[in-house]
């Protein structure tokens, strides 16, 4: 009996074939290069954007803001900065700044452009991301994350060091993207010589042009913003919907991939899932099935792709598969717009993605698994039309697709705004309620953020930034709750331990988790050596302390630890300690006094407190939201502690807390009196 997903075929009554060209207007991190065997200058000339080179330069000379609409693979992310450099825009010593929403995009694009410019990365072309600056005084093209540009605005509000700012991947509408756009709108009014290029998808191009247009008259000849569209390479894509909803979309992805492998002609497969755990599970299942495929048939090569994957593993998806082997890439939505994987002809769309969602009542910022928007579904489908006509298999019905939102709501309208407001206050924007956001955030979210910053001591009774605490928190490239932990650690005498813990929280996948069997059991036993009764953060501290004495790949392998992740944590910790020195915060150790560390964590992360309810589940102190300890936590298998603090919430079939730490309720009253107060419950 075949229980695999059945897709409606052409000619069936309830199926309507969709042969329209899929709209895939988006930026890219790894541009698929079909002409890599040619000389670099010839490769550049073969890109679709090359035909628009003169138009782009002409429009930028005549307009202050240029909205550039370019499909994936057209070359806009790598070529536009070089066109401006070659046209002499940096002749007066100014810099061309390019912002990216993701760190991996900033570093990989900078590396590619440095190759094309035939220079060493960090000289003429460089990048700057959190805890890593690869630029010098001669840098002319600077790739950076939006957060870095925001910090530069604190020291140089008019960005006098830049001649052009290019905002790439604007359609993703991250929180920082919207803040940077709002601030740039203010800057271009005061500094007419600064030019802005906004790289966007077509859906909001006109809205963005109107947002940046400083012309208030009806005379369009005086407009300061305009739009240019660049065509990319695109082939038609046939779309197939499933007949009945699937119960387990991870298993359905695996079954569909195997069915494509059996029945379809050559071409790689790209499947979309929501997160690292689902991707790893699917790859493990595909590997098991792959071993059963007879040698006479074409083999499959399953590969994972997600943001926290080590760079060497990420690069594997861009390599050609061996002869008689089909590549099956299982990815998160990083492969939706951020990367272009060569050879993909078939796309499997689970229909879900992991997004951040802030709940005002409980002050919790959650990662929830939600249906994708129509725009995202079309972006995913377009991945199949890169090299030839392709097919996309959607693991949901056509009726379900019709009910999807047109686009995912901007992060500004569904995230914790405390980090954003802290940055705006530091930039001198006192009345954040009147700040011109591209998408106005909910008033409740703004008030919630102000309340949190007040409880942290970052703002005073008048809503102004406090000195030195609020000013110092704004200078740190960390979320306000972590910044507070770091600042107060100097006073509490545990800054060495807190820098280690926070550095470990900035990386992912510290523990390697084998697919199953005997190896998984060994990994669990190895992990127990580091586990602490105080919770996951002290466990991470134990891991790093043990790693510091060894620092070898073999030791990490024996203990099922990710060596590259721990090396990255070391780099971040070093940067944090330099920052403490610069801010004159003492670096000291608590000499094993765990209570000091726990009190310091409570002082910053107090909004994330939960208690064990008599029903056996955890509840947040404010809003009484039901929560569960994540199965990967070291506290999952022990007796449940009464009071805990968590770092993150993940919502799947249940609402899980991650990185959990045991605390005492009296610490909450003592360290967060503005946020919590003890109340006696009146009997009914």
The string of DSSP letters for 372-428 reads PPHHHHHHHHHGGGSSS-EEEEESS-HHHHHHS-SSPPPGGGTS--HHHHHHHHHTT
Mean pLDDT of 559-575: 90
Evaluated on CA atoms 203, 207, 211, 214, the torsion sign reads: positive
Q: Around Cβ 322, how many Cβ atoms within 10 Å?
A: 9
Give the span between the Cα atoms of 446 and 418, in whole angstroms.
8
Give the span between the Cα atoms of 450 and 460, in whole angstroms.
10
At 107 the pLDDT is 85
Q: Is the pLDDT of residue 32 over 70?
A: no
Q: What's the distance, CA 387 to chain centroid? A: 27
Q: Which of 49-63, 294-308, 383-397 has the lowest mean pLDDT?
A: 294-308
3-state secondary structure of 449: helix
Instruction: Look up the pTM and report it.
Output: 0.77
Give the span between the Cα atoms of 432 and 420, in whole angstroms.
10
Beta strand pairing call for 643-645 and 299-305: unpaired
Q: Is the pLDDT of residue 3 over 50?
A: no
Give the ranges where 270-344 is alpha helix by DSSP (H): 276-292, 311-315, 334-337
At 634 the pLDDT is 92
Mean pLDDT of 334-360: 84
548 contacts: CB under 8 Å, gap ≥ 6 = none
User: Which residue in 362, 483, 383 sits closest to 426, CA to CA?
Assistant: 483
At 30 the pLDDT is 42
Beta strand pairing call for 299-305 and 325-331: parallel
Long-range contacts of 317-320 (CB under 8 A, 24+ apart): 317/341, 318/30, 318/342
Mean pLDDT of 345-364: 87
Q: Is the pLDDT of residue 17 over 60?
A: no
pLDDT tens across 80-106, in order? 999 999 999 998 999 999 998 877 778
Mean pLDDT of 284-299: 79
pLDDT-derived band at 625 (thresholds 50, 70, 90) equals confident
Q: Which of 70-79, 502-511, 642-651 has the lowest mean pLDDT?
A: 70-79
Q: In this predicted model, which residue has the larger pLDDT, 202 or 150? A: 150
170 contacts 208 by C-beta, under 8 angstroms: yes
At 647 the pLDDT is 92
List for the chain the helix, strand, coil content (%; round to 5). Answer: 40, 20, 40
Q: Is the pLDDT of residue 540 over 50?
A: yes
At 53 the pLDDT is 92
Instruction: Name the percent of the chain lying above pLDDT 90.
Output: 47
Q: Which of 51-60, 72-81, 310-319 has the lowest mean pLDDT?
A: 310-319
Mean pLDDT of 188-211: 86
pLDDT-derived band at 433 (thresholds 50, 70, 90) equals confident
Sort residue 20 into left (φ over 0), alpha (ψ -120 to 50) or beta: beta
pLDDT tens across 124-149, in order? 999 998 778 899 999 999 999 998 99
pLDDT-derived band at 295 (thresholds 50, 70, 90) equals low
At 508 the pLDDT is 77
pLDDT-derived band at 517 (thresholds 50, 70, 90) equals low
Mean pLDDT of 562-580: 90
pLDDT tens across 156-198, in order? 999 999 999 999 988 778 888 899 999 999 999 999 999 999 9
83 contacts: CB under 8 Å, gap ≥ 6 = 53, 56, 57
Mean pLDDT of 355-384: 84
pLDDT-derived band at 311 (thresholds 50, 70, 90) equals low
Q: Which of 16-30, 394-408, 669-683 has the lowest mean pLDDT?
A: 16-30
Whole-number average pLDDT of the chain: 85
Q: Is the pLDDT of residue 405 over 60?
A: yes
Evaluated on CA atoms 631, 634, 636, 637, the torsion sign reads: positive
E strands, 168-273, are 195-200, 225-230, 237-241, 268-272
pLDDT-derived band at 261 (thresholds 50, 70, 90) equals very high
Give the span between the Cα atoms of 610 and 30, in whole angstroms.
42
Mean pLDDT of 387-401: 92
pLDDT-derived band at 19 (thresholds 50, 70, 90) equals very low
Give the span between the Cα atoms of 415 and 116, in whole angstroms.
38
At 338 the pLDDT is 59
Element (H, E) at 77: helix 76-86
Spell out the domains of the chain, with CATH numbers in brackets.
40-230 (3.40.50.300), 237-411 (3.40.50.300), 476-670 (1.20.120.1080)
86 contacts: CB under 8 Å, gap ≥ 6 = none
């Amino acid at each position: 009996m075949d229980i695999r997903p059945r897709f409606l075929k052409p000619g069936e009554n309830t199926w309507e074939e969709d042969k329209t060209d899929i709209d895939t207007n988006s930026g890219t991190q790894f541009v698929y290069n079909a002409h890599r065997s040619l000389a670099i200058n010839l490769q550049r000339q073969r890109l679709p954007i090359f035909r628009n080179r003169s138009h782009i330069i002409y429009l930028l000379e005549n307009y202050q803001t240029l909205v550039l609409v370019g499909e994936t693979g057209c070359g806009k992310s790598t070529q536009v900065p070089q066109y401006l450099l070659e046209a002499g825009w940096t002749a007066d010593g100014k810099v061309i700044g390019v912002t990216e929403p993701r760190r991996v995009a900033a570093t990989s694009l900078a590396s590619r452009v440095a190759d094309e410019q035939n220079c060493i990365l960090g000289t003429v072309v460089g990048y700057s991301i959190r805890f890593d600056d690869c630029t010098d005084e001669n840098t002319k093209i600077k790739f950076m994350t939006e957060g870095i540009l925001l910090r530069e605005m604190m020291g140089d509000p008019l960005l006098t060091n830049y001649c052009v700012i290019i905002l790439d991947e604007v359609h993703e509408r991250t929180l920082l993207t919207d803040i940077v756009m709002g601030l740039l709108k203010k800057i271009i009014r005061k500094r007419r010589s600064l030019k802005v290029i906004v790289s966007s998808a077509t859906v909001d191009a006109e809205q963005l042009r109107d947002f940046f247009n400083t012309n208030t008259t009806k005379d369009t000849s005086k407009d300061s913003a305009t739009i240019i569209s660049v065509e990319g390479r695109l082939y038609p894509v046939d779309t197939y919907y499933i007949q009945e909803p699937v119960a387990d979309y991870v298993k359905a992805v695996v079954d569909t991939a195997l069915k494509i492998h059996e029945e379809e002609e050559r071409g790689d497969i790209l499947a979309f899932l929501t997160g690292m755990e689902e991707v790893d599970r699917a790859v493990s299942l595909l590997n098991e099935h792959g071993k059963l495929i007879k040698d006479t048939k074409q083999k499959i090569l399953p590969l994972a792709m997600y943001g926290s994957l080590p760079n060497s593993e990420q690069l594997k998806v861009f390599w050609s598969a061996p002869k008689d082997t089909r590549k099956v890439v299982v990815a998160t939505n990083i492969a939706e717009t951020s990367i272009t994987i060569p050879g993909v002809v078939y796309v499997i769309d689970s229909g879900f993605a992991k997004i951040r969602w802030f709940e005002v009542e409980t002050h919790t910022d959650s990662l929830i698994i939600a249906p994708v928007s129509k725009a995202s579904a079309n972006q995913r489908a377009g991945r199949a039309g890169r090299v030839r006509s392709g097919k996309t298999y959607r693991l949901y019905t056509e009726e379900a697709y019709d009910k999807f939102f047109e686009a995912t709501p901007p992060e500004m309208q569904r995230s914790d705004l405390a980090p954003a407001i802290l940055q705006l206050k530091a930039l001198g924007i006192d009345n954040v309620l009147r700040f011109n956001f591209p998408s106005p955030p909910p008033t409740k979210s703004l008030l919630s953020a102000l309340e949190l910053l007040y409880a942290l001591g970052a703002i005073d009774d008048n809503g102004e930034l406090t000195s030195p605490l609020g000013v110092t928190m704004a200078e740190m490239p960390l979320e306000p709750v972590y910044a507070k932990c770091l600042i107060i650690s100097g006073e509490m005498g545990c800054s060495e331990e807190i820098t280690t813990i926070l550095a470990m929280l900035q990386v992912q996948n510290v523990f390697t988790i084998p697919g199953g069997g005997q190896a998984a059991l060994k990994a669990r036993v190895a992990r127990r050596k580091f586990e602490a009764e105080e919770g996951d953060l002290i466990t991470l501290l134990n891991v790093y302390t043990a790693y510091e004495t060894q620092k070898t790949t073999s030791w990490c392998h024996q203990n099922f630890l990710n060596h590259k992740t721990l090396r990255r944590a070391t780099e971040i910790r070093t940067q944090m300690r330099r920052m403490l020195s610069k801010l004159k915060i003492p670096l000291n150790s608590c000499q094993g006094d765990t209570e000091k560390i726990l009190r310091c964590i409570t002082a910053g992360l107090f909004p994330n407190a939960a208690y064990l309810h008599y029903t056996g589940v955890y509840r947040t102190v404010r809003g009484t939201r039901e929560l569960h300890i994540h199965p990967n936590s070291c506290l999952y298998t022990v007796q449940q502690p009464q009071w805990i603090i968590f770092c993150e919430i993940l919502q799947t079939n249940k609402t899980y807390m991650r990185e959990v730490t045991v605390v005492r309720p009296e610490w909450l009253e003592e360290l967060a009196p503005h946020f919590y107060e003890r109340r006696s419950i009146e009997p009914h």
